[in-house]
Amino acid sequence: MADIKLKNVRKSYGKLEVIKGVDLDIHSGEFMVFVGPSGCGKSTLLRLISGLGDITSGDLYFDDERVNNKVPSERGIAMVFQSYALYPHMKVYDNMAFGMKLLKASKEDIRNRVVKAAEMLQIDHLLDRLPRQLSGGQRQRVAIGRALVRDPRVFLFDEPLSNLDAALRVAMRLEISKLHQTMPDVTKIYVTHDQVEAMTLADRICVLRDGMIEQVGTPEELYEHPNSIFVAGFIGSPKMNFLTDRFSAAFDCHTLGVRAEHIDIVDSDPLWSGKVVHTENLGSDAYIYLDIGAEEPLNVRLKEPRPIALNAEIGVRPQDGHLYRFEDRGHPLPER
């Protein structure tokens, strides 16, 4: 159990400030996801929380204890990275037991914990194998298992799935989500640049941009009420359509945002219309791209996948209540 509190946390490398004053409360047992583009400071912030990196200024609390000067082993954390970093000459069992052996735990205690973690991750049949005899997904399970065995109060993940192929990534995402349910007391912080992972795993998401927090909220809050054009464009797949000039002027704003799923194809009285320049059929979903005369083609999700010919002339209308208006600095304007 640990609440984690960051108060005006900053980190500089020499003269370069990369974390620029972060205030954040993470609740005990919560699954918090840090998401943002590459280079925005996600890994750095996670390393500060883990103790692998020094905080330049500000305060970090685990419960009510200031832990700025505590080494990682004193913080009760376990970390899983993108690269599995398993010891290649050690069997899975020994890889998982290694950290516990260092802590001088009893043999029986070690065995119990390794077996329990292995069962939880369904790798108990692999304990006698070497890492090279495992698939990528199995290796990542071992890396997670090794962290679990240490019975951490805080679990930190840094893009653990980004080396896996797409199908495996989805499967492991589900595993991690289940893990969250089986360990409700452990606080989890998960770093990813993948907004789908963020949306599906998080209790709350913290969107980082250039070393600062852009917005913190539940996936639904960020999707429905982005507090900037940056969050609006980052959360949600496919990316929100942004329209400017005469399209936005008609709505009295600098930029008008509307998601592909909130645009209807209409037979009469369209608001916008144009030719189909591209179609995308994903099986479960299909999208068309319309050249309505805006800078970018308008992405529209089809309610029922059906064949639409290239160059067909289509009229559309955005749904009421799903238009986002932004002023020139990217701040949202009230709904109307």
Which residues of the shown chain bind ligand ADP in the complex (CB under 6 A)?
13, 18, 36, 38-44
CB of 100 to Mg ion, least distance (A): 28
* Two structure tokens written together for 218: 């539940």
180 binds, among ligand ADP, Mg ion, none (CB under 5 to 8 A by kind): none
Q: CA angle at residue 266 from 260 to 268, to 5 degrees?
A: 150
184 binds, among Mg ion, ligand ADP, none (CB under 5 to 8 A by kind): none
**Site for Mg ion, rule CB under 5 A:** 43
CB of 304 to Mg ion, least distance (A): 40
Q: CA angle at residue 81 from 80 to 85, to 5 degrees?
A: 95
CB of 45 to ligand ADP, least distance (A): 7
Q: Which is nearer to Mg ion, 157 or 272 (CB)?
A: 157
Q: Which is nearer to ligand ADP, 156 or 298 (CB)?
A: 156
Handedness of CA 193, 195, 196, 201 (dihedral sign): positive
CB of 153 to ligand ADP, least distance (A): 23
Q: Which is nearer to ligand ADP, 41 or 332 (CB)?
A: 41
Distance CA 78, CA 96 (A): 12
248 binds, among ligand ADP, Mg ion, none (CB under 5 to 8 A by kind): none
CB of 41 to ligand ADP, least distance (A): 4
Q: Which is nearer to Mg ion, 35 or 286 (CB)?
A: 35
* Two structure tokens written together for 289: 């791209």
CB of 52 to ligand ADP, least distance (A): 11
Q: Which is nearer to ligand ADP, 26 or 206 (CB)?
A: 206
288 binds, among Mg ion, ligand ADP, none (CB under 5 to 8 A by kind): none
Q: Which is nearer to ligand ADP, 13 or 87 (CB)?
A: 13
